[in-house]
Structure 1
Amino acid sequence: MPSLGSATAARAVRPSPTPPTSHQFDETNSRSNARHIHWGAEEVYEDDAEPEGEGANEMEGEEEQLKDGLVLAITAAKSKVACCYFESTSDKIYFLEDQQDSSEWDLTALVLEQLAPKFVLTCANADADFLQAVEEKLSSLAPDSSTASSLGPDGTPVRIEYRPNRDFYAGSGKNALYRVHITEGGWYAPAEDEVIGSDSGSTHGQQDDSNDFALGDAYDFGRPCAKRRKLGCAGALLGYITRQRTEAGELENDLFEVSGLELMRLDKVMHINSDALTSLQIFCEESHASAHSRSTKEGLSLFGIVNIAHTPLGRALMRQWFLRPSLELDVIESRQAAVECFLRESNQHIVDAICKHLRNVKNTPRQLKALASGKSTIKEWQAVWSLIYAAIMIRDAASQLVHKNGVEVIDKLAAAYDVAQIKEIADMINDIIDWEESARQNGKVCVRPGVDATLDELRRKYNGLGSLLSKVAVEISQEVPPGLADELSVVYFPQLGYLITIAYEPEVTDAGKYGQFGWDFQFVTEMQAYFKNDKCRDMDRHLGDLQSFISVDALLSHVLAIRDQLLASVAIFSELDCLIAFAEAAKLYNWTRPVMTEEPVCKILKGRHPLSELCVDTFVPNNTSLTGGLGIKRSADGVDEKPDLHEISQDEKSVIIVTGANFSGKSVYLKQIALLTFMAHIGCFVPAEEALIGLADRIMTRVSTKESITRGSSAFMIDLQQISFALRNLTPRSLLIIDEFGKGTEPDDGAGLFCGVVDHLVGLGSGTPRVAIATHFQHVFTNGLLSRQLPIFLAHMEVLVVEPSSDRRGRDGRRGGGREFDELTYLYRLAPGLSLSSHALSCSSLFGIPPTLLSRASTITHALSTFSLDSLILANEMDEDERRELCEAEGVGRRFVGWEVPAEGEGEMEAEEVRALVRSLLEVEGEGEREDA
């Protein structure tokens, strides 16, 4: 807003909403116990009142900033995939070294699922089937798969841009990376032996004073150049981001700044695709209640009950941990040790204090970037001051924790920043910035009086500017005609200076009309015209741009000097926030620490499903024991060496097959195994009395079938796709969950496919993964289609069966009508052995299927199981002719069965003898012989 004056009065109006001040840190504490619900980018409280004022706007703004689009550059040539992406929340560029993908592009699908990008760059000359796979996968990732467009994680369309081949050359990527300014020390190498430089004679870890790092190639990550094709995704990625930021005016000297470069290590994270994440209910997005909104919120899911972090960056980091569970044993155990420390009763009051101060940590990386760009407001300064205050208090509280030795996050917190230095900066900020005045000045940063004599003088001049402009306006009005003087004002615009303004007229640009007064035309708006004269130019020279002088540039330089410390502290606070959330969830739901091992085992004592136990009054725990690599071993001549069932204990099985009645808890048990394994890999405690979990590089499922018109696949085809994906990608360290595979087609075909899958898995020998299967194909074991001598643990979910009394049976002794079915009591308890019945009719009677329908179903089931199909035709449903024809057909059948055919070697029958014998088969008593057909 400009300052302005007129011949009658100065007009200087500045509306100013109040920003948060230094004494407003604990405003959110009154809502600390409210549960948060996230609808898209908004955050609302489930208490009586919603956040109001600027605090609410700031909260929504930070959540929106964390939703900034992830830009992914990906391409493929000769089935080899390369990609890199930029994450705005951490300001880092991540690279994936060139990887050979399968013919179904499983790796590409996994990358797209886990990253959920908003913008995808790919090469127009990439493999055609790769481009098709990318488009199909992005389309399938839409929150509502019935929509035709590809949607990002917040419901906005995913854009795909096809770039020319030259953008993906390794040379363009190399040149682009040379122009990147790295603020946190350069290249992040996973290990010393992986830092490379075979081509250039230097390593990525080296960095000179100009912040350039040696780079042999844009996509050279540890292998000799001659052994692979280099796909320069970095050139396309950085080119796009640089163009976007240049157009937005965010880059200076064409220098793109990132906090670091990191290598994506696929062997260090568990691979779990979107089907598994959905079917295990790890994530569960629910649509907004309004049909006109695309926003979503987290429903009942594992992520929903665990993600009780207090900071925006903590919630973002938690999602990354869930999408990419760790396979590094030391990382997992470090997180578990921290959770165990935070769970101690003696540390509870300290953890509460830490949580209180964590709420003051905002999206500081973005706010520091705004400060460095010179576009900051009082909100950014307040956030920085809040962060420093929180850092001091959190460090002080963490030092009082007991049994904190060996807790890595606490050790990193102690070494992340210099408390004395940042406290000095915090005092400086609080002493220099006038929070109340800044609130009145529409968020403009104001300096306190008495801090600097020069600034005080400038402020005095600026505060008296209104009266000065009024005097100048009076003087100028005396030099112009009275009609013009009534509308004349003198105004001050920052960076434009001092101007004369009058009402707009069509001939206002006529130089002769106003030139006679010494006015030079400047510009017009819809209502006003602006001019300069000698008095305005004198004020420009002597007073200058007062507002730009009254600034905090000197203070800003001190804050930017500790920027690395502040960023490091925010990263540690995010991790600390996640670990405290794990501890709070473990305490709330009675979870225990699992023991992790490199061996492919899964031994769980009294395990519980973390979601199902929240939905029932009493949950029945069950044990699990699986050991990978114990399939059928094949000898050198290819003969199967089938082990004796009695020589293998339950603890030495790789495959467990669970049978039992419908609704008895088989699916819950299978998902429970996968969820506990998943939770252990993110460092969380698990719902079990004890657990020994071996590292699993993949969790694959065939559990649920999510149909959609856009997928172009039937339910059975989707099941086949899921099984095919699992069989292609499983390893001896994988965990595979299969629930009711084969049920979507002809029963015989489905049973055959089921047996084939089991035979294949067991036949992998030492490569057999840990497998848990639920099925209703019990007959494949009773009929000998699958041998019970296979190294498979057969189990069932127990039910208590009460058979109906004899007076409730039908007249023919079979079950039919009313409540004549077995009464079931579900025990939800796993027991060894094979269940021979699914009790489908009894289960149907519990859920309101009409008794007449059940009676007919019981009759048909009995006829099919006893091979008495003639009983399906009831006597009272046949007339006399139909009954006679049935008797005749029965007589023919009986005589045919009794036909004595000469044995081999006793001679052959003549043709006439055969005809006579056939005629005798068709004879009906009392009617002679029938004619030959």
Structure 2
Amino acid sequence: MSHRAPSTRATPASLPSPTPAPHSLARDDLDDTTRKLRWGDAQVHEVDEVDDGHAARTAQGQQEDDEVGERDEVEGGVLAITSVKGKVGCCFYDPVTDKLSVLEDQQDSADWDLTALLVEQLLPATVITSSTADAAFLETLDAQLAALPANAFSSAASTSGVTGDTNTRLEYRPTREFYAGQGKYALSQLHIHEGGWYASGERERDDFDSGYDSGLGVDGDLEQGFNDAYAFDDRPTKRRKTSAAGNPDGEVSRRNQELRVEAFLNSLCTSSLMVGCAGALLNHLHKTRSDLGELSDGIQVKGLELIKLDKIMLVNSDALTSLQIFQDEAHAATGSSATKEGLSLFGIVNIARTPLGKLLMRQWFIRPSLELDVIEARHDAVECFIRDENQPAIDAVEANFKHIKNVRRVLKAIASGDGSLSDWQAIWMFVYGSIQIRDAILSLEHRQSVEIVDKFLDSFDSLAFKDLGEIINNVIDWQESQLTQGKVCIRPGIDAELDKLRRRYAGLESFLSSVAKDVAFDLPRELAKDLSLVYFPQLGYLITIANEPNVTDADKYGAFGWDFQFVTEQQAYFKSSKCRDLDRHIGDLQCFISDKEIEILHALVGHVLELQGQMLSAADALAELDCLIAFAGASRLYDWVRPVMTEDAVCKIIKGRHPLAELCVETFVPNGTSLVGGQATIKPDSEQEVELCGDEDKSMIILTGANFSGKSVYLKQVALITFMAHIGCFVPAEDALIGLTDRLMTRVSTRESVTRGSSAFMIDLQQIAFALRNLTPRSLLVLDEFGKGTEADDGAGLFCGVIEHLLGLGRDAPRVVVATHFQHVFLNGLLSRKLPATLAHMEIRVDESTAGSSSAETKGVESVAYLYRLAPGLALSSHATSLASLFGLSPDVLLRAEEVSHAVSTFSLDALALSDEAQMSAAERDELREVEACARRFVGLELGAAREGEGQDGVEELKERLRWVLDGEGGGFEDGTT
């Protein structure tokens, strides 16, 4: 506890004004009931009445801490990966879930597709690899990291040392850090929270004790307080014992954890690369935390699990960007390099209110689920939360979400001894908010089948939480803590010894004044008038007089029994026998008070950590609950419906809409979709009026049509509806039947970068090649104008090859939606119209009267009305000039463009010259007629074979003929006969 330095001039027999004690006598006179927080909204904000400015600063600081914690956790994902002889092993740390995920050693393909999938699915902020890994692997890893979109991590992410134009840091570490023995030892030293990772989702906890008694009575214990700071539990209380709260026998818990880790490591004994990566990753985490000042005996994680790529939808980075699932935009602040989430699917759906809920929402978007029971459980929850009769309860839950902070970060701070007042407030508000949310959840209608509700209700004991909240509230003096600049202060009545020390400290001024008078009584008058007795923490009690020459002379004041200590510019300080008696009998009060308060806080921390497992379980459940309520809010706001999920490779959508495009227009035209993986494996439901359903459903839709007619929007809406169904959200459609989709891949937009060293068309080819290698019958592929990046004939050829390959897969064909302007491949017979694919186009209406107008400005340029409606059949024109007219190109340019386009398409390039005759001068027309006559004479000239014996006469005759062709001169050749 700090103590302000004494004044430069002290009055006789007085004590310098010290810094106010945490509990002075004046503060003790206040009514104790005005300083206690109660369970209820009215009392929650009572603390703010003390100092509104400081409270506002505290709230702002807490919000900033949450934002910083949230950003750090998003940026902190670390992937350790390496390869030896084509085998790949990796280990990933996810700070959002605080888990380690490992991938057993697997043989990768020659193109390192598994490595690419891992990087795109995990989206790490830091990648660690061995410097001696396979050269081709390192090259592929570097290229893949350079291709990742920068906005895939966080809208506020910003780190240094990036690779390419992304936020990913690539570190090459020595081979010795990837040794399997070192990794096995590092894993064995892990501290894993009990009951989390190896229970296979089952809770190892006892049932609730229905006889739980808080032991607090009404207000008796609150008024009486506790007799001892360590006796928080000395009340008649039955505490529920859970595995999450920790086993009282710590040795048994520790041994169980060791056995589980050992069993897990034994099951992975053949995956030396993975174990080595785990060691390198844990070593990196330890160094990083040490650099941040976090000292710990070992790394603590919540769990250890295997990476199962078959349980999540693999969404490549191109899909995240091209479908606008994430979209960064520059911050509005001038000169700021920060970014924020723009118009994106994540931006309109992520209305979660808690820090952990926002982080979990991002994880769901990056890794959609392929587990049917998980998806349907989320849909059940959204369906329950969206009901009108449940709206009051949901409003109450959302109102209490403001009390839920990043409890995982707060618990780490409190456990490490760095907990501030705002951290203790966050814990108290979390406990309070959890109980309030539980009460609101219990009033929900039709909640019996909602898994997240049961999960949240089972995650903690409300009586134990209430007990803990009252303990914290009774121990910490919120008002006094705010008056002392946020230092955590203990209430009076908590510990008898602490109260005794505070009373001594409060009466110390008057006591020292009386002692100073006794000391000055036997001193000369001129010395006594300037004498004071002061107290310094860690220095004890000192006599001080005015500074004068020779004040340090031992003989001058030694006669009084004073020992010189130190001198300032105006004061000199001495120790006397009286001062030593005070040091011996009273002691260093401020240090005693500080030590006692620290001991009490340590005891309070122990009580908090007893319920740490329940708090973390409740926090995880609240984060999931927050996300699902956000889904329900977005579904209600945008009129989305619940999709029907199935394991069949099918995608049937009735009146689907684009979730983003419909927000930007006054009227959006919905369209249907019918796709089945493979060829005609599922018959359409006769009761569902899905557009484009013929006798058989196809695995591919080939979409043609005019520019600006909505082809790209249609393609993206099919992909987005499929994506939204897998994250557990409702979808923008009248009805939808969505089959589980293991991969969502796109070739929609090309992200160029100088660091990639590839042309735009080469990037397109890389995307297509990756898709063709990894697609399955359960995949969805979206192709938008593939082949347009090169010469038209080559692009059309590649387009035909890809389409025929995909359709040739038969029952292994994925679901594919294609948009193209290569209509001529069907008109010229390069692709048959009888292929097992649905040909469709976006409907338009052409004003024929405008196309046939005699007006020079509009002749030949059609007026087109875009209907944005999907219709069967093949479109024959892109109507590019009609679209150009909408954007203000001059009529002369449009007419010329129409003429050239018609001439090229009909192979009548000579018509271009004739159409320009009216614009020629007289000389140019005469020259053109002469050239035409010359050409006609040449075409009409007949040359016979040379006859034997003609010799020089034949050559002369040929010259005469050529002269006639060029000049029209020469006899006997006008008819062109020989």
TM bucket normalised to smaller: 0.7 to 0.9
Of 728, 732, 754 in structure 2, the residue corresponding to residue 709 of structure 1 is 754
8 Å CA contact 2:78, 2:93 repeated in 1: yes
2:413 alignment counterpart: 370
Shift of 1:309: 0.7
2:345 is the counterpart of 1:306: no
Query: Helix, strand or coil: the match of 1:81?
Result: strand
Residues of 1 paired with 2:99 and 2:571: CA distance?
A: 48
2:69 alignment counterpart: 65
Task: Give CA-to-partner distance per residue, 1:269-305, whole Å, 9 cap, x none.
Answer: 1111221111001110112234632211111110011
Amino acid in the other structure paired with 2:277: C
Query: Helix, strand or coil: the match of 1:711?
Result: coil
Task: Give CA-to-partner distance per residue, 1:689-739, whole Å, 9 cap, x none.
Answer: 110001111110011122333333322222222212211221111100000
Of 918, 927, 940 in structure 2, the residue corresponding to residue 881 of structure 1 is 927
Alpha carbons of 1:774 and 1:179: their partners in 2 closer, same or farther (altered >3 Å)? Answer: same
Alpha carbons of 1:353 and 1:80: their partners in 2 closer, same or farther (altered >3 Å)? Answer: same
2:130 is the counterpart of 1:100: no
2:381 alignment counterpart: 338
2:360 is the counterpart of 1:317: yes
Of 651, 657, 660 in structure 1, the residue corresponding to residue 702 of structure 2 is 657
The residue correspondences of 1:501-512 to structure 2 (distance < 5 A) are none
8 Å CA contact 2:963, 2:969 repeated in 1: no
Alpha carbons of 1:191 and 1:440: their partners in 2 closer, same or farther (altered >3 Å)? Answer: closer
Alpha carbons of 1:881 and 1:11: their partners in 2 closer, same or farther (altered >3 Å)? Answer: same
Amino acid in the other structure paired with 2:870: L
Query: Helix, strand or coil: the match of 1:66?
Result: helix
Of 385, 390, 394 in structure 2, the residue corresponding to residue 351 of structure 1 is 394
Q: TM-score, normalised by structure 2?
A: 0.79
Of 59, 62, 81 in structure 2, the residue corresponding to residue 55 of structure 1 is 59
8 Å CA contact 1:118, 1:157 repeated in 2: yes
Shift of 1:21: 8.3
Task: Give CA-to-partner distance per residue, 1:864-884, whole Å, 9 cap, x none.
Answer: 122221222222433533442
Shift of 1:409: 0.5
Residues of 1 paired with 2:393 and 2:541: CA distance?
A: 60
2:313 is the counterpart of 1:267: no
Amino acid in the other structure paired with 1:66: E
Ranges in structure 2 where 5+ consecutive residues have no aligned partner: 23-34, 46-52, 203-250, 682-691
1:728 alignment counterpart: 773
Query: Helix, strand or coil: the match of 1:709?
Result: coil
2:885 is the counterpart of 1:835: no
Query: Helix, strand or coil: the match of 1:10?
Result: coil
The residue correspondences of 1:565-604 to structure 2 (distance < 5 A) are 565-604=614-653
Residues of 2 paired with 1:731 and 1:298: CA distance?
A: 33
Alpha carbons of 1:434 and 1:744: their partners in 2 closer, same or farther (altered >3 Å)? Answer: same
Larger deviation, residues 99-108 vs 723-732:
99-108
Residues of 2 paired with 1:511 and 1:88: CA distance?
A: 64
Shift of 1:114: 4.3
Task: Give CA-to-partner distance per residue, 1:207-257, whole Å, 9 cap, x none.
Answer: 85445333687995856x4587555111111112223334544334x2322
Residues of 1 paired with 2:746 and 2:86: CA distance?
A: 25
Residues of 2 paired with 1:557 and 1:13: CA distance?
A: 30
1:927 alignment counterpart: 969
Alpha carbons of 1:144 and 1:64: their partners in 2 closer, same or farther (altered >3 Å)? Answer: closer
Task: Give CA-to-partner distance per residue, 1:391-443, whole Å, 9 cap, x none.
Answer: 21212221221111221101112211112222122222222222111211222
Amino acid in the other structure paired with 2:82: T
8 Å CA contact 1:15, 1:442 repeated in 2: no
2:12 is the counterpart of 1:12: no
Alpha carbons of 1:144 and 1:579: their partners in 2 closer, same or farther (altered >3 Å)? Answer: closer
Task: Give CA-to-partner distance per residue, 1:736-775, whole Å, 9 cap, x none.
Answer: 0000111121111111111111111111122210000000
Task: Give CA-to-partner distance per residue, 1:858-902, whole Å, 9 cap, x none.
Answer: 121121122221222222433533442243235434668xx999x
8 Å CA contact 2:89, 2:106 repeated in 1: yes
Of 166, 178, 182 in structure 2, the residue corresponding to residue 172 of structure 1 is 182
The residue correspondences of 1:12-51 to structure 2 (distance < 5 A) are 12-13=18-19, 22=37
Larger deviation, residues 65-74 vs 473-482:
473-482
Residues of 2 paired with 1:888 and 1:511: CA distance?
A: 130
Amino acid in the other structure paired with 1:770: R
Shift of 1:111: 3.5
Task: Give CA-to-partner distance per residue, 1:173-212, whole Å, 9 cap, x none.
Answer: 11111111112336347699xxxxxxxxxxxxx9854453
2:870 is the counterpart of 1:821: no
2:186 is the counterpart of 1:182: no
2:725 alignment counterpart: 680
Alpha carbons of 1:279 and 1:300: their partners in 2 closer, same or farther (altered >3 Å)? Answer: same
Alpha carbons of 1:470 and 1:739: their partners in 2 closer, same or farther (altered >3 Å)? Answer: farther
8 Å CA contact 2:89, 2:271 repeated in 1: no
Query: Helix, strand or coil: the match of 1:808?
Result: coil
Alpha carbons of 1:748 and 1:383: their partners in 2 closer, same or farther (altered >3 Å)? Answer: same
Larger deviation, residues 209-218 vs 240-249:
209-218
8 Å CA contact 2:320, 2:326 repeated in 1: yes
8 Å CA contact 1:326, 1:332 repeated in 2: yes
2:330 alignment counterpart: 287
2:28 alignment counterpart: none
Shift of 1:13: 4.0
Residues of 2 paired with 1:375 and 1:655: CA distance?
A: 59
Residues of 2 paired with 1:391 and 1:89: CA distance?
A: 20
Alpha carbons of 1:240 and 1:849: their partners in 2 closer, same or farther (altered >3 Å)? Answer: same
The residue correspondences of 1:228-247 to structure 2 (distance < 5 A) are 229-247=273-291
8 Å CA contact 1:169, 1:232 repeated in 2: yes
1:853 alignment counterpart: 893
Residues of 1 paired with 2:517 and 2:473: CA distance?
A: 41
2:593 alignment counterpart: 546
Amino acid in the other structure paired with 2:789: G
Shift of 1:133: 3.4
Query: Helix, strand or coil: the match of 2:71?
Result: coil
Residues of 2 paired with 1:895 and 1:12: CA distance?
A: 123
Residues of 1 paired with 2:92 and 2:348: CA distance?
A: 29
2:847 is the counterpart of 1:802: yes
1:403 alignment counterpart: 446
Query: Helix, strand or coil: the match of 2:840?
Result: strand
Query: Helix, strand or coil: the match of 2:595?
Result: helix
Of 114, 130, 134 in structure 1, the residue corresponding to residue 137 of structure 2 is 130
Amino acid in the other structure paired with 2:595: S
8 Å CA contact 1:739, 1:774 repeated in 2: yes
1:200 alignment counterpart: none
1:44 alignment counterpart: none
Query: Helix, strand or coil: the match of 2:93?
Result: strand
Amino acid in the other structure paired with 1:81: V
Task: Give CA-to-partner distance per residue, 1:79-114, whole Å, 9 cap, x none.
Answer: 333222333343322223334334444443444444
8 Å CA contact 1:220, 1:230 repeated in 2: no
Alpha carbons of 1:652 and 1:118: their partners in 2 closer, same or farther (altered >3 Å)? Answer: closer
Shift of 1:11: 3.7
Residues of 2 paired with 1:81 and 1:596: CA distance?
A: 34
Residues of 2 paired with 1:314 and 1:292: CA distance?
A: 30
Residues of 2 paired with 1:864 and 1:514: CA distance?
A: 117
1:85 alignment counterpart: 92
Alpha carbons of 1:884 and 1:302: their partners in 2 closer, same or farther (altered >3 Å)? Answer: same
Ranges in structure 1 where 5+ consecutive residues have no aligned partner: 31-48, 193-205, 633-646, 811-815, 902-907
Cα root mean square deviation, aligned: 4.5
1:793 alignment counterpart: 838
Residues of 1 paired with 2:708 and 2:263: CA distance?
A: 56
Shift of 1:143: 3.6
8 Å CA contact 1:189, 1:263 repeated in 2: no
Shift of 1:258: 2.0
Alpha carbons of 1:765 and 1:459: their partners in 2 closer, same or farther (altered >3 Å)? Answer: same
Residues of 2 paired with 1:498 and 1:177: CA distance?
A: 50
Residues of 2 paired with 1:515 and 1:724: CA distance?
A: 95
